[in-house]
A and B are shown apart, each in its own frame.
Chain A
Amino acid sequence: MLSCRQLGFRYGDIRVLHDICFTVKKGCFCVVLGRNGSGKTTLIHCLNRILHPTKGQVFIDGKDMTSLSRNEIARAVSLVPQEHMEIFPFRVIDVVVMARAPFLGTAAAPKTIDYTIAEKALKQLHAFHLADKNFNRISGGERQIVLLARAIAQNARIMLLDEPTNHLDFNNQYHLLSAIKELCRTTDLCLVASMHDPNLASLFADVVIMLKNGRILYHGPNQKVMTPRNISALYDVDTRAIPIGDRKQLFLPKQGMGSSGT
């Protein structure tokens, strides 16, 4: 379980996050939704102390995070960064096995067991065929899957994802989010992902936190929070919902559809 209380963060004089309070339970897929610059990434980075919150606290299973060492935090919280290239052409398996760092001594290199865990994580995502490839030479979608596999190999109870669907094509977005959702269901993982597409969020999220100018605008179960009114307020775009059956709906801006006539 992950929770934060009156979390605040400022870069110098600029306040990026104010008074953030929420709790994410086990097996829950929580999406942080907001526009560019709303503070999503900063919030994600505050949740595993990549950034030190300037106010408030973060609790991991009830323990104040400031009382934990970096290794302890890394064993409890994993991070899937945005897909990117590395400086050196590491093999995929070598990137995934880095997840074992918090379990190894400072001077130790990963052993056979660590490689086995890394291979298992890749197999779980049907990506074992990538193991020996150059991380920089696979597609963006594959790289994002590999980074997800690394987070799985880290074996943490809480997983943070920083805009995991950015730079991914239509197919890869759904493939990745389905994999994440499945993971959340089967392993009781507590998941927090930042996103900016309301439709992807409404398709996959259990709980949505809407973040605007560093404050929580609305927060609650997907069905309750994802309404045209809330989304209009979040994005400053007049939005309407189009039902697509199965109690799901699609959100589209009203203006863009004007000419095609309804």
Chain B
Amino acid sequence: MSTSRASGRLLGLLGLILAAALVISLFSGRIQIHWQEMVTFGIHLLKGQDLPADLVHKELVLLWLRLPRCLMALLVGSALAVSGAVYQALFRNPLVSPDILGVSAGCTFGAALGLILASDVFGLVQVLSFFFGITAVCLSLGLARVISIKPVIVLVLAGIVVMSFFNALLMVVKYFSDPYDELPGIIFWVMGSLSRVSWEHVATMAPFTLVGLIVFIVLGFRLNILSLGDIQAKSLGMNPSLFRLILITFSSFMVAVSVACCGQIAWIGLVIPHMARSLAGPEHQKMIPVTALLGAIFLLLADSAARSISSAEIPVGIITALTGAPIFGYFLYKNRNTGWL
């Protein structure tokens, strides 16, 4: 079919753009790396030739700071974007982002708690953040289950309840934190940044992103049906509650790990799925891979910008919000006559 060839071509094109974005991202930052030096590093790694002393330092920056950071941007970008796409289908609402069940609010509270309790204990912030993010989603699901009517709307309302509660807890933590030392730490953490990323983060994030991505692509056709609502999904032989639970579980883990490692990076989960839909159409088998690639490209470029705009690094969450909001406005305008609004 011609449509499948067209979507194959789109994926190929986006793959090329992603590769280009990766290269740009590897070159950008405060320490300038020339492309000839990059070639030298390549030869060094392959053949084990000795490096000149001035390049050793640069190679360390590239291998231990920049490369993991770029890979993490790629993984987090696609995880957030894909989760957003899945949530928009599940909640039958194009204005939903992965935060809707309180996962980000829970993660942020956990991280803030970790920062004031013992910011020097390695990994505590990440572990607490992940733990509270998942707790928040479980609370939302549990609350919705107790109410148990009109599943979709109740889930959204339960999410708002849980989110508000964790935001309140975050304020408590902020209030009792040391305003000179800990409070700025919490605020910068909330803004979202990839500057703390190491290879360990990449190794944690990669399996979650990849497994989630595969699950979502495989269940793409079922997502189309779920987006029609429970009555039609049931009449077409599906168990909507079960599928919702599976999809929410996978995306919550993806988002919780992302936020635990990099803080809140806004707008990707909301904007990228819309961009993907206008490129690849609304069918999830086709738009989920496109969403993943676009999310990766977007965060890679945003992070490159965050590193190179000023001499001091800007939190990437600011860049994504500053660019994401106008892009979203543009898509609202562009899709105004497709029955989308």
Contact surface of A with B, Cβ cutoff 8 Å: 45, 48-50, 70-71, 73-75, 77-79, 81, 85-91, 94, 98-99, 101-102, 104, 106-110, 112, 134-137, 154, 160
**What are 23 residue pairs bridging A and B, where the CB atoms are less than 8 Å apart in the complex?**
A48-B234, A48-B235, A50-B231, A70-B237, A70-B238, A71-B237, A77-B235, A87-B88, A87-B92, A88-B227, A88-B282, A89-B282, A90-B282, A91-B281, A94-B224, A98-B225, A98-B228, A101-B237, A102-B236, A109-B285, A112-B1, A134-B339, A135-B339
- The segment from B54-62, B134-142, B213-221 found at the interface with A is B213-221
In the complex, what residue of chain B is closest to A147 when comparing beta carbons?
B232
Q: Indicate whether A94 sits within 8 Å of B283 (C-beta atoms), given known contacts A74-B235, A75-B237, A86-B227.
A: yes
Closest beta carbon of chain A to B22's beta carbon, Å: 30
Chain A contact surface mostly: mixed
In the complex, what residue of chain A is closest to B278 when comparing beta carbons?
A89
Q: Which residues of B contact A87 (CB under 8 A)?
A: 88-89, 92-94, 227
> Of A74, A85, A135, which one neighbours B237 at CB under 8 angstroms?
A74
Q: Does B340 contact A (CB under 8 A)?
A: yes
Q: Which residues of B contact A112 (CB under 8 A)?
A: 1
Docked complex Cα distance between A137 and B341 (Å): 11
Q: Which residues of B contact A104 (CB under 8 A)?
A: 221
Docked complex Cα distance between A135 and B225 (Å): 14
Q: Does B338 contact A (CB under 8 A)?
A: yes
Contact surface of B with A, Cβ cutoff 8 Å: 1, 88-89, 92-94, 218-222, 224-225, 227-228, 230-232, 234-239, 277, 281-283, 285, 338-340
Closest beta carbon of chain A to B335's beta carbon, Å: 8
Q: Which residues of A contact B339 (CB under 8 A)?
A: 85, 89, 134-137
Counting chain B CB atoms within 10 Å of each CB, the highest count among A73, A109, A135 belongs to: A109
Q: Which residues of A contact B220 (CB under 8 A)?
A: 109
Docked complex Cα distance between A85 and B88 (Å): 16
Docked complex Cα distance between A188 and B132 (Å): 57
Closest beta carbon of chain A to B234's beta carbon, Å: 5
Q: Which residues of B contact A45 (CB under 8 A)?
A: 231
B225 touches A101 (CB 8 A): yes
Q: Which residues of A contact B222 (CB under 8 A)?
A: 101, 106
Q: Indicate whether A86 sits within 8 Å of B228 (C-beta atoms), given known contacts A102-B236, A134-B339, A137-B338.
A: yes
Q: Which residues of B contact A74 (CB under 8 A)?
A: 235-237
Docked complex Cα distance between A48 and B237 (Å): 10
> Of A70, A98, A107, which one neighbours B239 at CB under 8 angstroms?
A70
Given contacts A73-B237, A89-B339, 19 further A-B contacts (CB under 8 A): A50-B230, A81-B232, A85-B339, A87-B88, A87-B89, A88-B89, A89-B282, A89-B338, A98-B221, A101-B222, A104-B221, A106-B222, A107-B218, A109-B220, A109-B221, A110-B221, A112-B1, A134-B339, A137-B339
